[in-house]
Amino acid sequence: MESELQKKIKDYWDQQAVLNREKTDSLKVIDWESDYFIDSKGQGGTLKDSNLRELEIQNVVREIRKGEYVLDIGCGNGYSTLEYAKRLKDVRLLGIDFSKEMIKNAISLMHDDYPQLVSRVRFECHDILELSALYEEEFDVVCSTRVVINLPSWQLQQQALDEIRKVLKRGGRLILLEGSVDAVERLNAVRAKLKMKMDRAGNWHNVFLRDEDLKNYIRGKYKLIKEIYHASTYMLITRVLYHKVILGKFIKQFTYDEEIFDAASKLPNFGEYGYHKIFVLQKI
Ligand SMILES: C[S@@+](CC[C@H](N)C(=O)[O-])C[C@H]1O[C@@H](n2cnc3c(N)ncnc32)[C@H](O)[C@@H]1O
């Protein structure tokens, strides 16, 4: 049964989706309290930081093979789902989200901007916790981008991972791009050296994952293929260096459009500091 907190989280995402239909470009302004932004191009419900989002998409796309059937859970407004479809020509995708308002946005985004993808992409409204009632060992790949962290306890998160396993084919892969408490702690240790305020692990509606919990959970269920810290250099530069040296020192409001964000996203990647990380897991 859905708890009060789960209902509140669902309402929050419905509201974000409705706001997303309005023009609110000012929300591109950097606000460390909220990583999500909304704009007139229909990119709300996803990351405010478009360079970070691009790094995510590039890394997810690298893990998907020609001809695969992909389930994108918690697809939000479908921005990333449609990007996967654009970049992976022979792949079919199903995007699901429990917010019907998000799904409405995803469907309009596809029909308005990418009508050529309609034959390969579908969007449906479902809860991750009810996946196995709908599908059975159907997908080659499941992608989860900052979705499981919206379930308010590790117990529910494990339930979601069990549901995902049931809908994956044997040998199918889960690309789990979620918030990592361990990575936040590493980034905070660097911030502490520079006497900066600690970063929180997500927003009020997020519970970030612990690497050790996840590694214990997957035993006998999934094989760990790889861990990817896709935005490690990027986070050190934008969330530490830039934040320390530039941000807040001028009256001007800074946005994620500043050149440094684009430049940082093009540097070689090193370290384990990105607070969103990717686990690629294979169903046993
Ligand atoms: C942070 S957004 C990420 C959206 C998209 N994956 C992206 O990367 O742009 C999280 C999304 O997960 C959805 N979500 C949260 N809990 C869910 C659940 N239990 N079942 C399905 N979708 C869920 C929310 O409605 C929201 O659209």
Question: pLDDT tens for residues 114-141?
Answer: 999 999 999 999 999 999 999 999 999 9
**What does residue 219 show for φ and ψ, rounded to 5 degrees?**
-50, 125
* pLDDT at 168 (0 to 100): 98
* pLDDT at 43 (0 to 100): 41
Residue 25 to residue 28: CA distance in whole angstroms: 6
Identity of the residue numbered 197: K
Name the closest-CA residue to atom 9, ligand 1: 46
pLDDT in tens, the chain (284 residues): 679 999 999 998 998 888 777 644 444 545 544 443 333 333 445 677 889 999 999 999 999 999 999 999 999 999 999 999 999 999 999 999 999 999 999 999 999 999 999 999 999 999 999 999 999 999 999 999 999 999 999 999 999 999 999 999 999 999 999 999 999 999 999 989 998 887 777 778 889 999 999 999 999 999 999 999 999 999 999 888 888 887 656 645 667 778 899 999 999 999 999 888 999 999 99
pTM of the predicted protein model: 0.92
Name the closest-CA residue to atom 12, ligand 1: 74
Pocket of ligand 1 (CB under 6 A): 13, 45-46, 74-76, 79-80, 97-99, 102, 127-129, 145-147, 150
Query: What Cα–Cα distance (Å) separates residue 59 from each residue in 15, 134, 280?
Result: 29, 28, 11
User: Is 75 within 8 Å of 85 (Cβ atoms)?
Assistant: no
Beta carbons within 8 Å of 191's beta carbon, 6+ residues apart: 197, 198, 199, 239, 240, 244
User: Is 278 within 8 Å of 176 (Cβ atoms)?
Assistant: yes
d(CA 148, ligand 1 centre) in Å:
8
Name the closest-CA residue to atom 20, ligand 1: 127
In testing the pocket of ligand 1, which one of 34, 47, 150 has its CB within 8 Å of the most ligand atoms? 150
d(CA 159, ligand 1 centre) in Å:
16
* pLDDT at 21 (0 to 100): 74
d(CA 127, ligand 1 centre) in Å:
9
Q: For the structural domain made of 4-19+30-283, what CATH number should be given?
A: 3.40.50.150
Among candidate residues 101, 97, 52, 51, the one with its CA nearest the CA of residue 71: 97
d(CA 222, ligand 1 centre) in Å:
22
